[in-house]
Amino acid sequence: MPAPEDLTWDLSPILSDLAAFDAAVHTLNADLERLTQAADRLGEPGSDTAWDAVVPALADLSDRIHEVVSWATCTAAAHTDRDDARRADAQARALYSASTRAWSTPVSLVARCSADAFARLLASPALADHRPALEHARARRPVLLPPAEQQLFDELANDALHGWGQHYQVLSGRLRIELDGQALSPSQAKNRLESANPDLRRRAQDAIETDSLADDCAESLSRIIGVRSTLHKRLGVDELAIPLVEQRIQRQTLTALIASCQQAAPLVSRYLAARARLSGNNQVDWQDLTAPMGKPRTNRTYRDARALVADQLHAFSPSWGTSFATRSATAGSKQKTAQPSALVPSVPPFPGPGKAASS
């Protein structure tokens, strides 16, 4: 069931077609090979002036690769049944892994150099814009293998790690869920869970749970976890160490977030109980978690919609309600009516250098 043309994305500002993609990949591979060799020849940070040229060049190359990978990922997602789209996605992920390898030596040198050498490196005017990335590289020291082993891991990651992630995405992309005589993608089937019709929601949930590819997808995820577990054992760290470093989160921050969530559990229970009462049930089933509540209205003025949201936010947090009311009052001068709409999930950013592209 294809989406209307005006609801699909336009990728032409990045690349016009697969021929343009192939040309971009050819150029990027050549630049990657040249820059990887230059990066591997770098000397001590703060002493070797080549850092002033290599780091900005690598950063620029990473941005260019990011665009190409984004194009290929979107193209593959839109055309899961096309071999050329899947080939482009595989090529893009190989580029991503190669770019991670290109950063291996600079990251290892920055992570292991002395404090004085690192201070001299940061003092270079040519690297002023790259200070955050360099500081992040230094923070990665606890989760880096010895230099030669790290290079090998980065080189093998495309096949040993990201390849399994791509295999999972291909499998899940091909999955079709039969519902009311239609073959739906998982996302399309999940959209039915936001229907006002409780019978449709139940049938959609039953259809989603009968996943014929569950075992194959689980196998792919298990392989990814296996690679990660081996890496964690080699490093002597737990499974949170790498994600915390890569996301720039202190462990105590995560602990505080988890504690806050646990403290908010009674509030969530109240919310679920309220949903159950409004739906006339004793509990909220999975298929009812995102079901619309109340009687639908065709139209609502912006002023009414703003007041409704502000009141609900104020009941939860007075400061949130006041802030929303103040900010939305300005926006309201440009918006007269608000139409009902489904919840729109957020889209995570594509990972940058040093992060797993598909795992």
On the question of pLDDT at 291 being above 60, the answer is yes
Residue 298: per-residue pLDDT: 61
Note the pLDDT tens digit of each residue in 90-135. Answer: 889 889 888 999 999 999 999 999 999 999 999 999 999 999 999 9
Domain range annotation of the chain: 7-174, 300-330
List the single range of 37-41, 124-128, 285-289 with lowest mean pLDDT. Answer: 285-289
- Residue 342 confidence class, pLDDT cut points 50, 70, 90: very low
More confident call, 128 vs 83 = 128
pLDDT in tens, 159-213: 777 777 767 777 776 778 888 888 887 888 888 888 888 899 889 888 888 766 7
Q: What is the mean pLDDT of residues 258-280?
A: 90
Looking at 3.30.460.80, 1.10.150.20, 1.10.4010.10, 1.20.140.70, the CATH number of the domain 7-174 comes to 1.20.140.70
pLDDT at site 113: 96
Between 82 and 200, where is the model more confident?
200
Q: What is the pLDDT of residue 343?
A: 28
Entry pTM: 0.67
266 pLDDT band, cuts 50/70/90, is: very high
| Tens-place pLDDT, residues 302-315 | 888 888 888 988 88
Does the pLDDT at position 337 exceed 50?
no
What is the distance between the alpha carbons of residues 157 and 323, in angstroms, rounded to a whole number? 46
pLDDT given at position 25: 95
